[in-house]
Structure 1
């Protein structure tokens, strides 16, 4: 019911009560690639009343739904919106190394398609993208400049720099954007962009000082060498005459981080205001009047329902003939508190696991070999570098958990009466594989809900950077590569949580569960808090710890905490730690490989 309410509510918001048609587009582009996009077409856009169109794009390692806020707010104001999966992302064709700019990474191919739609005003085409989606907009402008008939009238770059200098003209300042209306959203706490550097590559200014730099001033002065006496300000729209046309330039500097852009009321309002100024919105609605947050709320409700379903459906299948033999009452018996020595091993193991988690993550982030894999810098079996990084880190921590459990059992557990068979660690091979079959059945059923919701409602379950979405079948083959790595972690983590660390605390089992869930995620929490505390205080990140690594940890924190609870609840019904562990590995792997960038060699 939660999943159904989520889908229905999200659909009503994104269709503006049925007045905006939302369609899943797949087509062969002018670049010879297959592209996926979501089309938002207001009823007011017709062949006799043509509407402006905005092509939107997500950033690297994301997908088209990350532009939900812009899609909802622009379409309810009468704009046609095409939200693309950039090449290499979502359901579009994979990205080939060396061809990252092909078709503007797909954006310019979408611009060309949009210009031919009968209900689109081809003179009012805008493009916007977040992070590498903004980079795609820059690629698209360059392609548009070379076209016989340029199509792009307005560009808003969100959380990525503009192109300020011409590498073919001694790196002089120039105006790539011509007579187009152009804006930049430059976050004051952007992890990657909006810095100035000296000749040795040392950062001279932090992102929050971007507006004072020569790059920003040149951009606001239409690509000319900045005039010191004409210092322009953030948030103000400047209009200069270029080739006989009045062209708009503006830089917005919200006090936000890079990943917050697609989920920000401030930035969404900026997108609306900019395109109203540049292209004119067909339906006048104040920029601050926004409803996309309700869609996010409904999408988030679906995530909750999805997680609950994993436990509830597992328990339901235990009542069927096929899986009844896996049902157990052993694990639900009254459990006692640990003694003083047991608590010492418990807390010591948790602290040691947290230290290993932090150390291994930082070490991998600083490894040149891992950088080659993570950022797909060279051909590799790991076509999804970001997933490979997290998967390898997870497996390392799984092996660390195995060592801690082994030492704990030999030194303490065996002497204190821990029976590995009664605890479910040694269930027998038949029960083991039977349990894996149950986990697989639950995972298939859970993702079937996603596809039903996608087919009937064109929505999925997501909240900010955490998303469970429909996907193309090829992603399952990719998932098989990473599943063993995630299985090592989640299975061994489930064994540690349930077979070694399950007891009452304060006479309540849930206290024990909550502590284990917290410590599962504590290492990433510490790293993220340390990173952003440093950033907000100094204006720069922790030296040697790149911003992308802390961003990757944000959804991981949720996964680690929630999967601990899921495995505990399933264990209580089965006395089998492998069912919950393998189910978590299956679900997390599929979520990971369907929400990232895929490269081919």
Structure 2
């Protein structure tokens, strides 16, 4: 089969994998047709747009109403984050409602004063559950992860008079322990369970937290104790003793993974449980141990007639097919870009050459290459630490209205610019003197080639999102696993995508120049595919080093290392290594097929901007005010953009002239 046939086949295979992943994922979500999933968009009782999904088992009817569990996801995500719990609970006979928190997913964006006043939207979802005729309104529970766990506790304050909520399960978040007078039984006669991970980056340590919660402040709050020993401390003991002060009242120490009960004058017997697991904050996205504890709690608190073993799960297959679907979409995007560039006459000018791996110049050249990679890794490691020390993991303003995208964008634009100049230095000091031919790399293209390259990039990215939007329209299917997702998004997110687009374009075009001009050599191996993989891994190494350092030190010492003063340093960069690895691999494959180093960089720059903004939280100022503005952020961006422009002016004027 010729190259044309291979590219066409890869495009078809990518499309088929995407359809298989989307179809099988949806089939598993519905328990092979035994659960109906309904997308709900409404105006909540608080008067705001709210987005939810309702999972209804087929054996639940108007004549046979079932208990409901309202699920709230964590920060910077959407309701699909918690679908593993929705899948397993709905197939066991519970009506499950997954809710997009206000400011996230497709729910309305509100200023903090409104966002935080209604349980972040969770209590409105509880009220909605009561309106469903097939829900047993006397058996409504909440399940919250991370910030969704905080929302579950906030709901209890709102629910004191109504008592709609009967059971609460909190994953990887502190329960509420006290009121203004001291330790207090916040949850009354409800059954409550908590999963406390011993290596949590946000919770289960003594921070500035006593009944109120700010995620921005919590990221940088000082850590006064280890989460490893959480179960032994007064707060946990007070919770297990239904609000009593364990030290003051000289109570016997209560244990983890043990359920304690108490009879109340209401006639209810309430329980308290803290499950302690040797996990980190993000393991709740896939942990079968956590899912089993959730299922067991609800089966004991609100048993149903559906008998399925507590450890009988199908959600891993949903994860598997979601990954298959995403890999299929990426394969389709890359193959389509190559197909358009190499086979459609109108775009042929963007097909620049067929590059070959260059010789390194012997041992000295290999030493140069490895030395630059080590310097790059250390430098980006330090860049991340400096950004953390400046509080930029939590930064947002009137233009950059979400913290994660601008934080990752700043890492990218600084790292990309630094890498460009490091590579330019290599060329001027070593490469040029050792006959490195920069003119045969595809670095120099004309305006016509550039605008056609941009057009191909737009077509390629829009093609996969067309598939995603069409699939969601007809079946409600979305592809998401942990931090990685390719999902539809609402128009309100487009301005945010456009705001960070220049940052990610500069990052990935810069990376493309580095890996395709200066590092497209045989220094690692002469086998092209293996070479692509190794270069991709080494490029993704800096954030991986941050993760290994942060978690490694945490596990070894039991203390959060607070890398750059940020408690969640590992979480903040957790999605980056895998995303960068696949991004560089795709950039390399596109360059290998077309010799166009800009095509892959622009495609991934656009794609990254969409990915970063698809599900993140959005922050807006209070009416008549502005979000805090930091001049240093914009100065940094301006300097990096100016250096990027100067790099190209230098190349095109001086080097090309030489």
Contact 1:191–1:257 (8 Å) recurs in 2 = yes
Distance 1:477 1:72, change over 3 A: same
For 1:88 and 1:335, the matched residues in 2 are separated by 50
Q: Specify the alignment match of 1:454 in structure 2.
A: 472
In structure 1, the residue matched to 2:600 is 580
The residue that corresponds to 1:104 in the other structure is 119
Aligned residue for 2:189?
Answer: 179
Deviation at 1:215, TM superposition (A): 1.2
Q: In the alignment, what sits opposite 2:201?
A: 191
1:503·1:509 contact (CA, 8 Å) conserved in 2? Answer: no
- Give 1:241's match in structure 2, choosing from 263, 266, 277: 263
Secondary structure in 2 matching 1:126: strand
Does residue 513 (structure 1) correspond to residue 535 (structure 2)? The answer is no
Q: Please list the CA deviations of residues 245-292 of structure 1 after superposition, one character each: whole Å capped at 9, or x if unmatched.
A: 211111111121111113110111111111112222331212111111
- Please list the CA deviations of residues 369-417 of structure 1 after superposition, one character each: whole Å capped at 9, or x if unmatched: x25xx244xx432101121111011100111012112212222233333
Q: Is the 8 A contact 2:562 2:569 kept in 1?
A: no
1:592 aligns to 2:617 (yes or no):
no
Matches within 5 A, 1:156-175: 156-167=169-180, 169=181, 172-175=182-185
Match of 1:317 among 335, 340, 343: 340
1:68 aligns with 2:86: no
Within the candidate set 234, 244, 269, 1:214 is matched to 234
> In the aligned structure 2, how far is the partner of 1:542 from the partner of 1:465?
23
Q: Secondary structure at the match of 2:113?
A: coil
Q: Distance in 1 between matches of 2:537 and 2:361?
A: 19
CA drift at 1:335? 4.5
CA distance in 1, matches of 2:290, 2:314: 14
Q: 1:240 to 1:589 in 2, by over 3 A?
A: same
> Which whole-Å CA distance do the structure 2 matches of 1:287 and 1:205 have between them?
34
How many Å separate the matches in 1 of 2:120 and 2:514? Answer: 44
Instruction: State the alpha-carbon separation in 1 of the partners of residues 556 and 371 from structure 2.
Output: 32
Q: 2:575 aligns with which of 535, 548, 555?
A: 555
2:385 to 362, 366, 384: 362
1:350 aligns with 2:360: no
- Counterpart contact for 1:111–1:125, Cα < 8 Å: yes
| Distance in 2 between residues matched to 1:284 and 1:530, nearest whole Å | 44
Structure 2 distance, partners of 1:572, 1:165, is 61
Aligned to 1:527: 546
Instruction: Tell whether the 8 Å contact from 1:206 to 1:540 is kept in structure 2 after alignment.
Output: yes
Structure 1 position 202, deviation (Å): 7.0
Please point out which of 27, 34, 42 is paired with 1:19. 34
Q: What secondary structure is seen at the aligned counterpart in 1 of 2:615? A: coil
Shift of residue 203 of structure 1? 5.1
Q: 1:56 to 1:321 in 2, by over 3 A?
A: same
> Hey, what does 1:84 align to over in structure 2?
99
1:497-550 superposed Cα distances (whole Å, 9 cap, x missing partner)? 111111234432233322211111111111111111111111111144423221
1:7/1:460 contact within 8 Å kept: yes
Q: Are the aligned partners of 1:198 and 1:204 in contact in 2 as well (CA < 8 Å)?
A: no
In the superposition, relative to structure 1, how do residues 351 and 107 fare at CA in structure 2: closer, same or farther (>3 Å)?
same
Shift of 1:197: 6.7
Greater shift, 223-232 or 528-537, is seen at 223-232
Q: CA deviation at 1:426?
A: 1.0
Structure 1 residue 154 corresponds to structure 2 residue 167 = yes
In 2, the alpha carbon distance for the partners of 1:185 and 1:302 equals 31
Gaps of 5+ in 1: none
Local SS of the residue matching 2:278? coil
* Matching residue of 1:232: 254
Pairwise CA distance, 1:243:
2.6
Question: Is the counterpart of residue 290 in structure 1 residue 305 in structure 2?
Answer: no
State how far apart, in whole Å, the 2-side matches of 1:80 and 1:559 are. Answer: 35
Relative to 1, partners in 2 of residues 1:195 and 1:595: Cα closer, same or farther, differing over 3 Å? Answer: same
Where does 1:436-447 land on structure 2 (aligned, <5 Å)? 436-447=454-465
Query: How many equivalent pairs are there?
Result: 589
Quick one: distance in 2 between partners of 1:540 and 1:29? 42
Q: Supply the distance in 2 between the matched residues of 1:218 and 1:197 (Cα, whole angstroms).
A: 17
Q: Note the aligned Cα RMSD (angstroms).
A: 1.9
Check whether the contact 1:56–1:83 (CA below 8 A) recurs between aligned residues. yes
Q: Distance in 1 between matches of 2:305 and 2:250?
A: 39
Q: Name 2:277's counterpart in structure 1.
A: 254
* Inter-partner Cα distance in structure 2 for 1:117 and 1:106: 17
**Aligned with 1:470: secondary structure?**
coil
**Counterparts of 1:4 and 1:264 in 2: how far apart (Å)?**
27
- Is the deviation greater in 293-302 or in 466-475? 466-475
- Residues 330-345 of structure 1 mapped to structure 2, 5 A cutoff: 330-331=354-355, 333=356, 335-345=358-368
Offset at residue 337 of structure 1 (A): 4.9
Equivalent in the alignment of 1:431 = 449
**TM-score, normalising length from structure 1?**
0.94
From 286, 304, 310, the equivalent of 2:327 is 304
C-alpha distance in 2 between matches for 1:77 and 1:316: 47
Name the SS of the counterpart of 1:403 in structure 2. Answer: helix
Cα distance change on mapping 1:457 and 1:124 into 2, 3 Å = same
Shift of 1:338: 4.1
Shift of 1:339: 3.0
Instruction: Note if contact 2:350-2:450 (Cα within 8 Å) is conserved in structure 1.
Output: no
Q: What does the per-residue CA deviation read over 1:7-32, in whole Å, with 9 as the maximum and x for residues that have no partner? A: 12111111011110112211111112
**Which string of whole-angstrom CA distances, capped at 9 and with x for unpartnered residues, describes residues 204-231 of structure 1?**
6422222211111111111122243432
Question: Equivalent residue for 2:559?
Answer: 540
TM-score between both structures, scaled by the size of structure 2: 0.86
Query: Which residue of the partner structure matches residue 4 of structure 1?
Result: 19
- Give the alignment of 1:404-415 within 5 angstroms: 404-415=422-433
Is 2:501 aligned against 1:492? Answer: no
Matches of 2:488 and 2:252 in 1, distance apart?
A: 51
Q: What residue number does 1:569 align with?
A: 589
Distance in 1 (alpha carbons) for counterparts of 2:117 and 2:224 = 33
Partner of 1:394: 412
1:124 aligns with 2:147: no
